[in-house]
Amino acid sequence: MPRQRRVVAQPFEIRESAIQGRGAFATRSIRKGERVAEYIGERISWKEADRRYDDTQMKRHHTFLFSVTSRTVIDGAVRGNDSRFINHSCAPNCEAVDDGGRIFIESLRAIAEGEELTYDYAFERDDTHTAEDEALYACHCGAVACRGTILEPPKVPLPHSHHSAARHVRRHKPVDAADTPKNSRRSSGTAKRSARQAVEGKRR
């Protein structure tokens, strides 16, 4: 059976979150593997994203950019939907999936009504990030395994770097040890993805 390519009825509502600002909360129980939202917004170039958003001018990170390819980024702040309010967590119950260039948020496990939906933003880390930049991306998800930042784990070389940080698809399945960069951190038995895989993500 082909996977649904649109989300028929949004199974969550937006309200105040303990993680930060507003968040998305399940309005019914959600099965494992359900597509709960499509991440939509204006599709723009990285150049345009950098023009719109300058990290050095902001007190907090802007969280509405989603990196699709090395050229294209979705700006959820323009013509976006409620998916942009789904918060980051280091121990998420959803994940972002790239389906032919469209980004869907899918549940990683069964989710009970009332639970907050989260996924790992896996923000791309820029080579030029300073300690102050790191503070800008501090994570308050509250997970036991919280890595303290919504950036990708440090010391993972990226094939390209951008000034603006953006969410991107991240694999949640362990990868071959041979594919794992030597310096990458490991947590709870899950191998961290190589940079290429992190950017290429999970394609279906």
Beta strands 102-107; 72-75: pairing state: unpaired
Task: State yes or no: residue 191 binds Zn ion (CB under 5 A).
Answer: no
Interface pattern 29-68 for Zn ion (x via CB under 5 A) = ----------------------------------------
Interface pattern 125-164 for Zn ion (x via CB under 5 A) = --------------x-x----x------------------
Contacting Zn ion (CB under 5 A), which of 74, 90, 96, 166? 90
Residue 84, phi then psi, degrees to nearest 5: -70, -15
35 touches 134 (CB < 8 A)? no
Token duo for residue 170: 């991240």
Stretch that binds Zn ion, among 16-24, 90-98, 105-113, 155-163 (CB under 5 A): 90-98
Q: CB-wise, 75 or 95, nearer to Zn ion?
A: 95
Identity at 136, one-letter amino acid code = L
Region class of 21: left (phi > 0), else alpha (psi between -120 and 50), else beta? left
Give dist(CA 11, CA 43) in Å, integer.
25
Minimum CB separation of residue 47 from Zn ion in Å reads 30
38 touches 103 (CB < 8 A)? yes
Minimum CB separation of residue 138 from Zn ion in Å reads 9
Q: CB-wise, 53 or 121, nearer to Zn ion?
A: 121
Q: CB-wise, 7 or 143, nearer to Zn ion?
A: 143
Residue holding tokens 């503070």? Answer: 135
Q: Which residues lie near Zn ion (CB under 5 A)?
A: 90, 139, 141, 146
